[in-house]
């Protein structure tokens, strides 16, 4: 009996299913392409809308605000 089974008091086994390599490669390519476009915009002195404000927040020159949520 292995340590996990002893600790949990269960003989239940967990099956780990890896992500398909094709999807992983496709997602990797999508992210790389997006990063390449963002870097090209930065070289042209432009900021991608989805990156706007990150530098200011990281440098603590801007404080993010949020609207209070109605719960």
Tell me the pLDDT tens digit for each residue of 12-66. Answer: 789 988 777 777 888 889 999 999 999 999 899 998 877 777 777 778 776 656 6
Distance of CA 50 to the CA centre of its chain: 13
Number of residues that make up the chain: 71
Task: Give the C-alpha separation, 33 to 9, whole Å.
Answer: 47
- In this predicted structure, what is the pLDDT of residue 1? 47
- In this predicted structure, what is the pLDDT of residue 36? 93
Task: Give the C-alpha separation, 38 to 31, whole Å.
Answer: 11
In the chain, the largest separation of any two C-alpha atoms, in whole Å, equals 61
Q: Is 6 helix (H, G, I), strand (E, B) or coil?
A: helix
- In this predicted structure, what is the pLDDT of residue 6? 53
Helix %, strand %, coil % of the chain (to 5): 50, 0, 50
- In this predicted structure, what is the pLDDT of residue 43? 92
């Amino acid at each position: 009996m292995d340590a996990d089974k002893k600790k949990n008091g269960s003989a239940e086994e967990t099956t780990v299913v890896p992500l398909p390599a094709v999807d992983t490669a496709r997602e990797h390519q999508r992210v790389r392409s997006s990063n390449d476009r963002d870097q090209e915009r930065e070289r042209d002195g432009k900021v991608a809308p989805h990156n706007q404000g990150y530098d200011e927040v990281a440098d603590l020159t801007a404080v993010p605000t949020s609207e209070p949520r109605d719960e």
